[in-house]
Structure 1
Amino acid sequence: MSATIHPSAVIEEGAVIHDGAKIGPFCYISSQTTVGPDAHLVSNVTTYGRVSIGANTQVWPFAVLGGPPQIHPYQDSDTQLVIGASCVIREHVTMHRGSTRDQGLTKIGDGCYFMDNSHVAHDCVVEDNCILARSATLGGHAHLAKGVYIGGLAAVHQWTRIGTFAFIGALALVTRDVIPFAMANGNPAHLKGLNIVGFKRRGNSTAQIRDILAAFDMLFGDDVTPLQDRISDVSESFQDNEQVQAMLDFLNGTSKRGICSAER
């Protein structure tokens, strides 16, 4: 099935619109944009520069995709924004292309949901099935692993990492890396514990959850013992728990912001 393009839409020469895509009224699609099969740009959607919109992705009115990075002094170059398949991008969402200060790529995974007015800055990586609630904001170079939830009006500082299935509460200011499976809230954000509901929904047994909680207490219940010693102790005690090992891998990864600590 060929693409459906409303007569009022402006499609610059060179844009690629795949079969089954729908381009609604008053959209403006730049010459370097690719719109995937069965994607739907509802109306008044604007793209700039090299933007790729994945198959079956929905983009709602007044979203602006691929604007140049908001870096002072102003820098613009031939960088990219790549959006995966089956995403939902609601009203007034903004996503910027990458910058020359990183890999030149802002990348969104599959199955993500961006509520209205949320923002993804330059050079961010958002992995599959993440959710940004209303007006949530990612600073440049932030990295969200799969399944992360960012609450409404929360802000994530540039270069911050957030581990898989972490849950960030509404209004939080995240200035340090948040380990996988954790819940964080506050200004500045601190760890409030682990996302137990998420573990249950993913089929973890009571014994597995008990081990994960014990490992969390060992890692964050003691601020006297050096962190690397705590990591070593947990690694030895919970070698067979995949979730615990994922937390340890995250803690051993490269961090520019430091690790978000537990609330005292």
Structure 2
Amino acid sequence: MATLIADTASVDPRAVLGDGVEIGPYCVIGPQVEIGPGTRLIAHVCVPGPAVLGARNVVHPFSVLGGDPQDISYRGEPTRLVIGDDNVIREHVTINRGTAKDQGLTAIGHRNLLMAGVHVAHDCQLGDDIVLANGTLLGGHVHIEDQVGLSGGVAVHHYVTIGRLAFIGGHSRIIHDVPPYMLVDGNPSRVRCINIVGLRRHGLAESTIDALHEAHRLIFRGKMTIDQAAAVLESQVQPDRPIPDEVTRLLEFLRRQQSGRHGRGRELARGAGASSTSGPSLGGSTPLAAGKPTTVSPATSSSAPANGKAQSDEPDQAASASVPVVSVEARGEEPTA
């Protein structure tokens, strides 16, 4: 398929564009940018880079992908953004590159939906099949595992990890890690129940859902320690009903959270120079994704304008020095994304 570039777009001749890429009117593409086959930039999209966009992504107008990190310590170090395949990025989304004090990488996986007005800060790492609703704000170094849903207006603190198949209600303030399979809501946010609608929607067995409900009851309602809850769950094991992997994952996640600070397991990585948790697997291999120099090929149009350096930083919030035992509500049938 032919690559289509609008006459009013500005594409640096060193950018690498795959087959069937569409660059719409008034888009600006920088020199260290790779765009995979079939990706569409509809109009007024800015990708200063360094950045890699995979295949079949759709980016809507007035989004900026791969701009400088909004971190006051940033001094122009070479960092990058890597986005996987089949993502939909709606209007006015901003995704910043990483910083040298982490891995120098912001990473987005596959098949994610970022609705209008979403901000993904420096060094965030997102997995696959995630929905970030309108106005969601992610602070720096946030990690989100697969199949997570965030409602509109959610604000997430630096270094928070959100576990697989969690769901967060609208306008929640997230300052602690969010355990997998749980529904969290409020300001301050609390674990309300298991994300039962999301678990069923993604095909988890009813026996697994029941086991997660029991783990939730013991830990969040019964206020047991992780080890106490694990002992009770192990005592209930039968030959034909072992502890599901999902329950084991939940317990391991909570142990990591308690080993950190302020309710965030990865908070200990702050200032360590690199995150202790690897990011989502994006699949494939590209020169920028592998950290190698880009092999450039000529494209059309003129060079993109130089980037301006951001001069702001996100202030840390005060939080408890210990991991709280959060209160909960009864198990519910609340909707999820």
TM-score higher than 0.5:
yes
Aligned length in residues: 263
Deviations 1:48-77 (A, max 9, x none): 221111100000000001111111244331
After superposition, the Cα gap between the structure-2 partners of 1:98 and 1:262, relative to the gap in structure 1 and judged at 3 Å, is same
Give the match for residue 234 of structure 1: 233
Shift of residue 193, structure 1, vs aligned partner: 0.7
Percent identity (aligned): 37
User: What SS does structure 2 have at the residue aligned with 1:253?
Assistant: helix
Deviations 1:13-64 (A, max 9, x none): 2111111000000000000011110000000000122111110000000000
Give the match for residue 263 of structure 1: 327
Shift of residue 253, structure 1, vs aligned partner: 2.8
| Residues 1:105 and 2:108 aligned together | no
Q: Distance in 1 between matches of 2:205 and 2:98?
A: 41
Q: Distance in 1 between matches of 2:127 and 2:25?
A: 30
Give the match for residue 177 of structure 1: 177
Shift of residue 227, structure 1, vs aligned partner: 3.7
After superposition, the Cα gap between the structure-2 partners of 1:184 and 1:8, relative to the gap in structure 1 and judged at 3 Å, is same
Shift of residue 234, structure 1, vs aligned partner: 3.5
Q: Distance in 2 between matches of 1:236 and 1:249?
A: 18
User: What SS does structure 2 have at the residue aligned with 1:250?
Assistant: helix
Give the match for residue 62 of structure 2: 62
Give the match for residue 247 of structure 1: 250
Q: Distance in 1 between matches of 2:184 and 2:325?
A: 9
Q: Distance in 1 between matches of 2:78 and 2:207?
A: 51
User: What SS does structure 2 have at the residue aligned with 1:252?
Assistant: helix
After superposition, the Cα gap between the structure-2 partners of 1:236 and 1:247, relative to the gap in structure 1 and judged at 3 Å, is farther
Answer with 1 or 2: which has the greater Rg.
Answer: 2
Q: Distance in 2 between matches of 1:46 and 1:208?
A: 44
Q: Distance in 1 between matches of 2:255 and 2:217?
A: 18
Q: State the TM-score, normalizing by the size of structure 2.
A: 0.74
Q: State the TM-score, normalizing by the size of structure 1.
A: 0.94
Shift of residue 143, structure 1, vs aligned partner: 0.4
After superposition, the Cα gap between the structure-2 partners of 1:260 and 1:122, relative to the gap in structure 1 and judged at 3 Å, is farther
Q: Distance in 2 between matches of 1:61 and 1:70?
A: 21
User: What SS does structure 2 have at the residue aligned with 1:192?
Assistant: strand
Q: Are the aligned partners of 1:69 and 1:76 in contact in 2 as well (CA < 8 Å)?
A: no
Q: Which amino acid aligns with 2:254?
A: L
Q: Are the aligned partners of 2:234 and 2:243 in contact in 1 as well (CA < 8 Å)?
A: no
Structure having greater relative contact order (Cα 8 Å, sep ≥ 6)? 2
List gaps (5 residues or longer) in structure 1: none
Q: Distance in 2 between matches of 1:236 and 1:71?
A: 49
Q: Distance in 2 between matches of 1:256 and 1:107?
A: 24
Give the match for residue 153 of structure 1: 153
Q: Are the aligned partners of 2:215 and 2:229 in contact in 1 as well (CA < 8 Å)?
A: no
Q: Are the aligned partners of 2:57 and 2:87 in contact in 1 as well (CA < 8 Å)?
A: yes
Q: Distance in 2 between matches of 1:235 and 1:175?
A: 31
Q: Distance in 2 between matches of 1:227 and 1:196?
A: 21
Q: Distance in 2 between matches of 1:89 and 1:190?
A: 29
| Residues 1:3 and 2:67 aligned together | no
Shift of residue 248, structure 1, vs aligned partner: 1.4
Q: Which amino acid aligns with 2:62?
A: F
List gaps (5 residues or longer) in structure 2: 264-322, 329-337
User: What SS does structure 1 have at the residue aligned with 2:190?
Assistant: strand
User: What SS does structure 1 have at the residue aligned with 2:107?
Assistant: strand
Give the match for residue 210 of structure 2: 210
